[in-house]
């Protein structure tokens, strides 16, 4: 049941906000011991928020659009008075004195905070295995990863622990876990949503977006969190359109580009390719025109990303020195020794690896050979997209080359892990909006994700095409949920 349906039930008095919140909290208690989607459950606050909504409704007050809807928040978004750890020992005790812009907008819209969700440490990973507090698990198969870095947020939605959640996407960290967990994940245009209060990984790539069970719900959340923010200099000032109205616009005559390089990508599973091509044929049946397009540097995105993102991470994470806040190692020596030990003990292996890569790429004598050249390739990737959108309205690719892999499958091979984001990274390189939604299942019953990409600030078209495909294909409508996620009578 989606946000609009719950809103209707709440307005008609068929259920109270407190009852809906209590159901989600009970669901968390029942399954999160296995899923480990949450790092912290804010049960007392959630119940108090819900009761305020119920009291306002009883008093006849006009209520905002998300009034009483329980949500979960990735634990790299600052929440005032509630720990924000980034799944790192470095920030294990950090309690922000301020609220991020996106979460502030959610609470103003009446949403209820259930808690903070697990992630790869500082959002650096593709499986949630780098979390300092243990990995999250895929509700479809607990022996497999939920993806990353927003694995906790995607798993929480897939397991029915919340109505929707927020994540962040630097190179695919919303779309890839959405694909692995069989939910909808939306990365908006860079700057469409404020980054103020999002703990920085790579500032030119990071973007906040929703996880939901439907495209319509993604539109609902984007409607609330999008828009200008004077506290974020990179936030766009363009007016926010009516995303929900865009869902009903017809798709007949739209041109859908099949990105040739994506279907020739390294490691692309045959079942994934077949399922995504079947989705393209479904769009064709809806009246879209399929067009073969080429983005010659699409698969160069991953090499470019792993110079630019670690370089920006190296600069951003330099602030964690054990002095002002965060983990401080016990050291009897100099300030330099204390700082070095604090970072060595506070950061995990993957974070240290990326900081070292980035520091090297920015070092004297190498910055031109690596960082500057990567930025030049990034420009070429964006130009490829510009040319493609002269011929088509939307691009279609798989979200990930494979379905969810088993824990430890890539633990000794970072490069193999990085390839999980091969098909999602280019949209971040160009700052484009992109969405992942379920388009089928493999022989093991694991979800397969379809990725759609549009031009800058074309979220209306992105949601429009995704919604029409979702409604026609009904991939999740009749599919029995994983055993961990049984159908249940949600409320009395």
* Cα distance between residue 247 and residue 216, in whole Å: 7
Among 424, 481, 488, smallest CA distance to 181 is for 481
A 10 A CB-CB count for 391 gives 12
CA atoms within 13 A on the CB side of 480: 5
Give the H/E segment covering residue 52: helix 43-58
Q: Which residues are marked as active site?
A: 74, 149, 173
Residues in CB range of 357: below 8 A, 6 or more apart: 306, 307, 310, 311, 314
C-alpha 255/C-alpha 391 separation (Å) is 8
d(CA 373, CA 177): 30
Parallel, antiparallel, or unpaired: how do β-strands 394-398 and 447-453 relate?
Answer: antiparallel
Question: What is residue 303's DSSP assignment?
Answer: H
Q: What is the DSSP letter of 288?
A: P
Q: For residues 379 and 106, give the distance between their C-alpha atoms in angstroms, rounded to a whole number.
A: 34
Helices (H), 64-166: 101-108, 151-158
Distance CA 15, CA 466 (A): 30
Sheet containing 207-212: order of strands: 38-41, 112-117, 70-74, 164-169, 207-212, 184-187, 434-441, 447-453, 394-398, 255-259, 289-293
User: Among all chains, which residue has been given the structure tokens 């719900």?
Assistant: 217
Residue 97 CA to residue 356 CA, distance in Å, equals 30
Beta bridge mates, 397 = 451
Distance (Å, whole) CA 28 – CA 76: 20
| SS3 assignment, position 268 | coil
Contact predicate 43/56, CB 8 Å: no
DSSP bridge partners of 198: 77
Helix, strand or coil for residue 290? Answer: strand
Among the listed residues 36, 136, 132, the one whose alpha carbon sits nearest the alpha carbon of residue 91: 132
């Amino acid at each position: 049941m989606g946000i609009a349906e719950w809103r209707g039930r709440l307005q008609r008095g068929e259920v109270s906000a407190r009852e809906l919140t209590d159901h989600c909290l009970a669901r968390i208690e029942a399954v999160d011991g296995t899923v480990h989607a949450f790092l912290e459950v804010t049960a007392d606050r959630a119940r108090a928020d819900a009761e305020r909504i119920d009291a306002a409704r009883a008093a006849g007050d006009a209520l905002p659009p998300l009034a009483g809807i329980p949500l979960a928040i990735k634990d790299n978004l600052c929440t005032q008075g509630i720990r924000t750890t980034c799944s790192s020992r470095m920030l294990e005790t950090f309690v922000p004195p301020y609220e991020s812009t996106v979460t502030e907008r959610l609470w103003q819209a009446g949403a209820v905070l259930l808690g903070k969700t697990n992630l790869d440490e500082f959002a650096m990973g593709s499986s949630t295995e780098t979390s300092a507090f243990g990995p999250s698990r895929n509700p479809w198969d607990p022996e497999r990863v939920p993806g990353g870095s927003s694995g906790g947020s995607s798993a929480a939605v897939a397991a029915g622990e919340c109505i929707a959640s927020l994540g962040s996407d630097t190179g695919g960290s919303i779309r890839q876990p959405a694909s692995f967990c069989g939910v909808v994940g939306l990365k908006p245009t860079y700057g469409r949503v404020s980054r103020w209060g999002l703990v920085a990984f790579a500032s030119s790539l990071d973007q906040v977006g929703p996880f939901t069970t439907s495209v319509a719900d993604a539109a609902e959340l984007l409607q609330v969190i999008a828009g200008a923010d004077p506290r974020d200099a990179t936030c766009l000032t363009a007016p926010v359109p009516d995303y929900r109205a865009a869902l009903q616009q017809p798709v007949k005559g739209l041109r859908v580009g099949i990105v040739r390089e994506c279907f020739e990508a390294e490691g692309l599973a045959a079942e994934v390719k077949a399922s995504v091509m079947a989705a393209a044929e479904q769009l064709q049946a809806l009246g879209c025109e399929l067009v073969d397009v080429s983005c010659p540097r699409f698969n160069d995105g991953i090499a470019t990303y792993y110079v630019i993102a670690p370089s920006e991470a190296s600069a951003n994470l330099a602030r964690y020195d054990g002095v002002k806040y965060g983990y401080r190692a016990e050291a009897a020596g100099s300030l330099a020794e204390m700082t070095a030990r604090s970072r060595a003990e506070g950061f995990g292996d993957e974070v240290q690896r990326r900081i070292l890569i980035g520091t090297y790429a920015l070092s004297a004598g190498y910055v031109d050979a690596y960082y500057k050249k990567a930025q030049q390739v990034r420009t070429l990737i964006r130009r490829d997209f510009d040319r493609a959108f002269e011929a088509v309205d939307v691009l279609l690719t798989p979200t990930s080359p494979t379905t969810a892999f088993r824990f430890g499958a890539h633990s000794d091979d970072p490069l193999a892990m990085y390839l999980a984001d091969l098909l999602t990274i280019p949209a971040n390189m160009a700052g484009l909006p992109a969405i992942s939604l379920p388009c089928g299942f493999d022989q093991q019953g694991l979800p397969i994700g379809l990725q759609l990409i549009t031009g800058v600030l074309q979220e209306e078209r992105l949601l429009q095409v995704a919604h029409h495909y979702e409604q026609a294909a009904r991939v999740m409508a009749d599919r029995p949920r994983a055993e961990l996620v049984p159908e249940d009578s949600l409320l009395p």
